[in-house]
């Protein structure tokens, strides 16, 4: 046997090695590694080590060399409504309650069914994968149809089991929503990439009695609760008029504040409410683009972070954003925090990246699986090219990710070690399919354009 043969014989076989110029691990030490490799086998990260050492230790079935890239954990969109992607732009430049009552809800009553949700979710998954998002937390009707899109495209998702009081095409009352949600939950329980949350829409659309049921079921099934909270001043005024207290006080009195509560928006929070969120271990989803576009306000993110409230990032739906673009959310979150606080150190680039990765994973209870590049975690990874001339030169890769890069600089997206997107090509989605989805539904929705 030759020396070369002897050397190759001792190499450990693995599925994939990714060699990268930089690896931003988003671990507890905020490590930024240079000329390192991530080694993947059976969907998991089995090693992170210098590239020269990796090739002397492992033999990979597949090798990807990224000499001009930073490899980061897959981005996590912590709050969205994926089927609203086909409603992108139908009701722009109107405030939230008018947006809902006069435009979105009428369109949903006329259009939304399982076929619509499946198609719109497929379109949304494609947009997110191409922008480096590997996982999303959703809240919408017909979650089984969204699940079918998730399975088809190979994404990871935490799907909300929606709960409202009023009838829709999907369900007739709160109990019907809950039962249909549990049926959906049972249908995907064995799927490795799909988890569930119970998703009461908001305090202004859900009664105390229903919230109490949600709490019981969440405890029994060990599920998170995903809801909108303190998004607008109107919402708070309505709660004070109807219940005599602010919405968060209602949830506190009902026992819903806890580590399994993921509250979207949190724009209008008083100091003592921030303290209560911290005390109970709740998570807040900051949706800066949507909050600005709907004129809802700017969440007190600097104060939330200062009090150690776990803050993740979300896009909200494409009907109110109008993009499912986590790079835009990271940049805007950092810039808004600095502008509002007049403190250039408020929400650093590292913190913004954490909000879109490990913080979101913690909120979903998935931080043992995803959210950072560490041995033993699932290989949800995004590669971003940093050498394009329009963003050069690069001195600090993490700063560059937040302040210079956009989703157009994403070249590869892996979910559980499987390549789902690369250089404009999807693993399981044909471009013609996306065009057909748009051509099918746009004429039906056009009449609801504001």
Does residue 302 surpass a pLDDT of 70? Answer: yes
Please tell me the predicted confidence (pLDDT) of residue 9.
57
pLDDT recorded at residue 97: 85
Asked if the structure places residue 211 within a domain, the reply is: yes
- Note whether 144 and 63 are same-domain residues: no
Tell me: do 43 and 60 sit in the same domain: yes
The reply to whether 16 and 152 lie within a common domain is no
For the record, the structure tokens of 105 come out as 């809800």
Tally the domains of the chain.
2
In this structure, the answer to whether residues 282 and 146 fall within a common structural domain is yes
Q: Is residue 180 part of a domain?
A: yes
Q: Which domain holds residue 190?
A: 75-363
The whole-number pLDDT of residue 405 equals 98
**First and final C-alpha spacing in the chain:** 75
Question: For residues 335 and 272, what is the distance between their CA atoms, to the nearest angstrom?
Answer: 25
Q: Do 417 and 44 meet the contact criterion of CB atoms below 8 Å apart?
A: yes
Task: Tell whether 128 and 164 lie within a shared domain.
Answer: yes
Q: Does pLDDT of 100 surpass 90? A: no
- pLDDT over 70 (residue 238): yes
Residue 2: predicted pLDDT: 46
151 shares its domain with 291: yes
Q: Are 205 and 164 in contact (CB under 8 A)?
A: yes
Residue 184 lies in a domain: yes
Q: Does residue 47 sit in the same domain as residue 64?
A: yes
- For residues 43 and 137, membership in a common domain is answered with no
Closest CA to 156 of 178, 126, 134: 134
Phi, psi of 62 (to 5 degrees): -140, 140
Q: 202-220, pLDDT tens digit by residue?
A: 999 999 999 999 999 999 9
Q: Which residue has the tokens 């009195």?
A: 253
pLDDT in tens, 4-61: 444 445 899 999 999 999 999 999 999 999 999 999 999 999 999 999 999 999 999 9
Does residue 25 sit within a domain?
A: yes
User: Would 356 be classed as within a structural domain?
Assistant: yes
pLDDT (0 to 100) of residue 448? 83
**Placement of tokens 């399981």 in the chain:** 428
Same domain (yes/no): 279, 155: yes
Strand partners, 39: 17, 47
Residue 429 lies in a domain: no
Least confident of 3-7, 261-265, 353-357, 383-387: 3-7
Does residue 317 sit within a domain? yes
Q: 415 is written with which tokens? A: 């979910």
Distance CA 317, CA 228 (A): 13
| CATH number for the domain that contains residue 208 | 3.20.20.140
Query: If you average pLDDT over residues 84-92, what whole number do you get?
Result: 95
The pTM assigned to this predicted structure is: 0.97
pLDDT band at 327 (very low <50, low <70, confident <90, very high): very high
The answer to whether residues 154 and 238 belong to one domain is yes
Whether residue 40 is found in the same domain as residue 146: no
- Answer yes or no: do 142 and 282 share one domain: yes
Residue range 375-425, pLDDT digits in tens? 999 999 999 999 999 999 999 999 999 999 999 999 999 999 999 999 999
d(CA 36, CA 88): 40
Quick check: is 448 in a domain?
A: no
Two tokens at 295?
């004129």
3-state SS, the chain, equals CCHHHHHHHCCEEEEEEEEEEEEECCCCCCCEEEEEEEEEECCEEEEEEEHHHHHHHEEEEEEEEEEEEEEEECEEEEEECHHHHHHCCCCCCCCHHHHHHHHHHHHHHHHCCHHHHHHHHHHHHHHHHHCCEEEEEECCCCHHHHHHHHHHHCCEEEEEEEECCCCCCCCCCHHHHHHHHHHHHHHHCCCCCEEEEEEECCCCCCCHHHHHHHHHHHHHHCCEEEEEECCCHHHHHHHHHHHCCCHHHHHHHHCCCCCCEEEEECCCCCHHHHHHHHHHCCEEEECHHHHHHCCCCCCCHHHHHHCCCEEEECCCCCCCCCCCCHHHHHHHHHHHHHHHHCCCCCCCHHHHHHHCCHHHHHHCCCCCCCCCCCCCCECCEEEEECCCHHHCCCCCHHHHHHHCCCHHHEEEEEECCEEEEECCEECCCCHHHHHHHHHHHHHHHHHHCC
CATH code for position 26: 2.30.40.10
Q: How far apart are CA 232 and CA 108, in angstroms?
A: 22
Under a CB-based contact definition with an 8 Å cutoff, are residues 391 and 404 in contact? Answer: yes
């Amino acid at each position: 046997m030759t020396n070369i043969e002897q050397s190759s014989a001792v190499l450990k076989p693995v599925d994939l090695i990714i060699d990268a110029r930089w690896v931003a691990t988003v671990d507890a030490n905020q490590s930024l590694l240079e000329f390192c490799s991530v080694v993947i086998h059976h969907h998991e990260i089995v090693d992170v080590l210098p590239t020269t050492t990796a090739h002397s230790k492992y033999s990979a079935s597949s090798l990807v060399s990224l000499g001009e890239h930073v490899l980061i954990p897959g981005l996590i969109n912590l709050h969205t409504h994926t089927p609203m992607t086909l409603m992108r732009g139908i009701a722009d430049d109107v405030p939230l309650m008018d947006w809902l009552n006069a435009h979105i809800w009428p369109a949903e009553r006329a259009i939304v069914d399982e076929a619509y949700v499946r198609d719109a979710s497929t379109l949304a998954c494609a947009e997110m994968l191409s922008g480096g998002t590997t996982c999303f937390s959703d809240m919408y009707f017909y979650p089984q149809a969204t699940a079918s899109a998730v399975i088809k495209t190979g994404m990871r998702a935490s799907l909300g089991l929606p709960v409202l009081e009023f009838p829709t095409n999907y369900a007739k009352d709160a109990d019907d929503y809950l039962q249909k949600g549990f049926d959906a939950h049972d249908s995907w329980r064995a799927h490795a990439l799909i988890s569930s949350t119970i998703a009461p829409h908001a305090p202004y659309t859900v009664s105390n009695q229903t919230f109490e049921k949600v709490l019981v079921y969440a405890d029994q099934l060990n599920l998170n609760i995903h809801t909108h909270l303190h998004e607008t001043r109107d919402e708070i005024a309505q709660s004070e008029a109807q219940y005599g207290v602010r919405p968060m006080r209602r949830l506190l009195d009902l026992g819903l504040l806890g580590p399994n509560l993921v509250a979207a928006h949190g724009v209008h929070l008083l100091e003592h409410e921030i303290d209560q969120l911290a005390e109970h271990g709740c998570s807040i989803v900051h949706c800066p683009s949507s909050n600005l576009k709907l004129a809802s306000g700017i969440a007190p993110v600097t104060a939330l972070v200062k009090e150690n409230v776990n803050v993740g990032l979300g896009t909200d739906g494409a009907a109110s954003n109008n993009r499912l673009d986590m790079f835009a959310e990271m940049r805007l979150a950092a810039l808004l925090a600095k502008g509002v606080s007049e403190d250039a150190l408020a929400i650093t680039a590292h913190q913004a990246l954490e909000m879109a990765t490990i913080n979101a994973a913690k909120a979903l209870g998935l931080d043992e699986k995803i959210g950072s590049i560490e041995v033993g975690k699932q290989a949800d990874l995004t590669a971003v090219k940093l050498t394009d001339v329009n963003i050069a030169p690069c001195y600090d890769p993490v700063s560059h990710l937040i302040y210079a890069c956009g989703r157009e600089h994403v070249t590869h997206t892996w979910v559980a070690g499987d390549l789902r997107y690369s250089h404009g090509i999807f693993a399981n989605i044909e471009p013609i399919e996306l065009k057909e989805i748009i051509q099918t539904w746009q004429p039906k929705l056009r009449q609801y354009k504001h």
